[in-house]
Amino acid sequence: MKRIVVLTVMFVVFAVSLYASAWKSYSDYQAYLGAKKEAQAGEEEGNTLNAVAAFKKAGELAKKSATSEIYAWQLNNAAYALITHFQKLTDYRAKIDKLAGMQASPEKMAFQREIAEFFNLQMALLAEAKTILESLEGTENAEAPMEKVKSNLEFVTWVKEFVADNTGEGTETKKPADKE
């Protein structure tokens, strides 16, 4: 039993030191951990403003003292918090599912326009998410987070086009896959 405990402790110490070794400054790493904790608390409390600010702070600390991958993940997390907040405020999933289940009819067109107008009221959230995500363009050595960044940008673009198309400013668009 002692052997298992000792091996477990050694593994944890090794894993933490490996992750921390990506950082140039231990104090920045500690500040990053604090910002991450603050961001997670903000998300749990439903305080998107604090969560986004803390994710951005964690990102800036990572940009300064760690890897571009950690930086990209944190800014993507900030944008995703805004996207998630948009989806909650607009009841996005339920509305899109209802729309997808409707047959082509004047009622469906009216509902689609109603959804677009409702989404438009919260577009500032997605505009901020887009700004954050676009700031990551050109980030090197961050392939994994950049796939999520691309996916989130596609979601924001689709919603923007859906709103434009259904408020008389464009043409019909396709429904996106779920984004993270």
How do residues 37-88 score in pLDDT, each as one tens digit?
Answer: 999 999 999 999 999 999 999 999 999 999 999 999 999 999 999 999 999 9
pLDDT over threshold 60, residue 176: no
- If phi > 0 it is left, if psi is from -120 to 50 it is alpha, else beta; for residue 123 that is alpha
Residue 174 lies in a domain: no
Task: Compute the mean pLDDT over every residue in the chain, rounded to the nearest whole number.
Answer: 88
pLDDT band for position 21 (50/70/90)? low
Residue 52 lies in a domain: yes
Residue 51 lies in a domain: yes
Residue 177 lies in a domain: no
Residue 179 lies in a domain: no
What does residue 150 show for φ and ψ, rounded to 5 degrees? -60, -45
- Into how many domains does the chain fold? 1
Residue 155 lies in a domain: yes
Domain that holds residue 155: 2-166
**Percent of the chain whose predicted confidence (pLDDT) is above 90:** 76
CA pair distance 135, 137, nearest whole angstrom: 6
Residue 178 lies in a domain: no
pLDDT at site 18? 43
pLDDT band for position 173 (50/70/90)? very low
